[in-house]
Every structure is written in C-alpha cells, then in structure tokens.
C-alpha cells in the first residue's frame, strides 16, 4: 500500500507538476500549451507528464500527432480516498505532499467543467 501512496502523491512533490496541475484546472491543454506556458524543455515536460499520468490524476487524449492532457476526476477521487486513509493514520506520507494534494484536490472539487478545452491553442490549432 505504501507504494500506492508514493505513486499517487509523487504528482504533488514537484513545483513544475503542481504548476501543470494548476493549468489543467482551467481545462484540457495540449503539450505545446504547457511547454509555452512553463518554459521547460520537451523532455522535462514528458518526464512530468509520465509521473502525473501514472498517478492517475491526469489523463491523456491523442488527436493525430497531438497529445491533450486533462484532470482525471476518477484519479482525484482515488487520491482523496488515499488522503482519508492517511488522515486516519493508516499510512506514512510527507506533510508537504499531503498539503499540496489537499489544496489541489480542493480546487478540483470546485471546477466548472474538468473536460473543457482551453481557448488559446498556440500551435496545435495550426494543423
């Protein structure tokens, strides 16, 4: 069970991943939008996306050569259940990770439409 906590909450342990999650709160984004906004390299983004999708909190949708990312509400629900177990003292987890997770999951519950598509598409709309 400890590895399950680490897999899920690793998503909240890096500033760039938290920034990606915050961007996705506004709706679905393509990789090019994330790269443009975060000013990171493509391999760095791929690394972070791999961790976020492995956590179950982010999901990927392919459309041609483009990848689109959005919040996976089922993954967020699962993370909330893990936090509830933590709250009851059932598993070790760093306090920093738990706070980041609670803050983000609180945002998700207030989202209007987690599947909405972002309005500005810097390059993928030029197919």
pLDDT (tens digit, 9 = 90+) per residue, 44-69?
999 999 999 999 999 999 988 889 99
> Which pLDDT does position 124 carry in this prediction?
61
Question: What are the sequence ranges of the domains in the chain?
Answer: 2-110
> Which pLDDT does position 23 carry in this prediction?
94
Q: Give CA–CA dist 102/89, Å, rounded.
A: 16
**Which residues is 17 bridged to in the sheet?**
none
> Which pLDDT does position 71 carry in this prediction?
94
Q: Name the nearest CA neighbour of 10 among 83, 73, 69, 98.
A: 98
Provide the CATH topology of domain 2-110.
Answer: Arc Repressor Mutant, subunit A (1.10.10)
Where the chain has pLDDT below 50, the residues are 112, 114-115, 117-120, 126-127
Q: Give CA–CA dist 88/119, Å, rounded.
A: 41
Kind of pairing, strands 66-71 and 29-30?
Answer: antiparallel
> Which pLDDT does position 77 carry in this prediction?
86
Q: Which residues of 87-105 are buried (b: 16+ CB within 10 A; e: fewer)?
A: eeeebebeeebbebbbebb
Separation in Å, CA 91 to CA 21, 100, 101: 24, 17, 15
**Residue 64 — φ and ψ, nearest 5°?**
65, -130
């Amino acid at each position: 069970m400890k590895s399950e906590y680490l897999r899920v909450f690793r998503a909240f342990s890096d500033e760039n991943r938290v920034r990606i999650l915050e961007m996705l709160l506004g709706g679905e984004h393509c990789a090019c939008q994330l790269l443009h906004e975060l000013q990171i390299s493509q391999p760095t983004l791929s690394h972070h996306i791999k961790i976020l999708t492995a956590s179950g909190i982010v999901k990927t949708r392919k459309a041609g050569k483009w990848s689109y990312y959005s919040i996976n509400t089922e993954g967020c629900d699962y993370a909330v259940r893990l936090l509830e177990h933590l709250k009851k003292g059932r598993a070790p987890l760093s306090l920093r990770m738990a706070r980041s997770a609670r803050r983000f999951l609180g945002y998700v519950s207030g989202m209007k439409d987690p599947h909405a598509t972002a309005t500005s598409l810097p390059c993928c709309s030029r197919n």
